[in-house]
Amino acid sequence: MNFAAWQDLARRDAARAASALIERLQALTAPQRRAMVSWHPDATALTAAFAQQAARSGPLAGVPYFAKDLFPVRGVPMHAGSGFLAEVKAAPTEDAALVTDLADCGAVLAGTAHLHEFAYGLTGDNPHWGNVDIPGWPGRTPGGSSSGSAALVAGDVVPFALGTDTGGSVRVPAAYCGLFGFRGVPRSRWIADAFPLAPGFDTAGWFTRTADDLLTVQTALLGASEATRSPRGLYLGFAGWAEPDPGIAEVVDAAALRLAPAADDASRAQLIRAFHGSTEAYATLQSIEAYRSHAEWLDRYRERYGTEVWQRLDRGRQWSEDAHARALVKQTALRLMWTQFFLTFDYLILPATPFAAPLPEQRTVANRQRILALTTPASVGGLPVLSIPVPLPDGLSTGLQVVVNHPASPVIGWILRRLRDEAP
Which residues carry out catalysis? Answer: 68, 145, 169
Q: Measured between alpha carbons, how far is 313 from 303 in angstroms, rounded to an integer? A: 13
- Strands (DSSP E) found in 299-338: none
Which residue, among 120, 143, 68, has the nearest Cα to 399 in the 3D structure?
Answer: 143
Per-state percent for the chain, helix, strand, coil, to nearest 5: 45, 15, 40
The residue type of 46 is: L
Please answer whether residues 194 and 204 qualify as being in contact, where contact means their C-beta atoms are separated by less than 8 angstroms. Answer: yes
Please answer whether residues 248 and 355 qualify as being in contact, where contact means their C-beta atoms are separated by less than 8 angstroms. Answer: yes
Please answer whether residues 355 and 244 qualify as being in contact, where contact means their C-beta atoms are separated by less than 8 angstroms. Answer: yes
Residues in the chain: 424
Long-range contacts of 279-283 (CB under 8 A, 24+ apart): 279/369, 279/372, 279/373, 279/376, 280/327, 280/330, 281/326, 281/327, 281/328, 281/330, 281/331, 281/334, 281/376, 281/380, 282/167, 282/201, 282/372, 282/376, 282/379, 282/380, 283/372
The residue type of 141 is: T
Long-range contacts of 85-89 (CB under 8 A, 24+ apart): 85/118, 85/195, 88/297, 88/301
- Strands (DSSP E) found in 95-167: 108-113, 160-165
Complete DSSP assignment for 163-217: EEESSSTTHHHHHHHT-EEEE--TT-HHHHTSPPS-TTT-EEEEEESSHHHHHHH
Q: Measured between alpha carbons, how far is 131 from 305 in angstroms, rounded to an integer? A: 15
- Strands (DSSP E) found in 267-424: 347-351, 385-391, 397-403
Cα dihedral 142, 147, 153, 159, rounded to 10, equals: -150
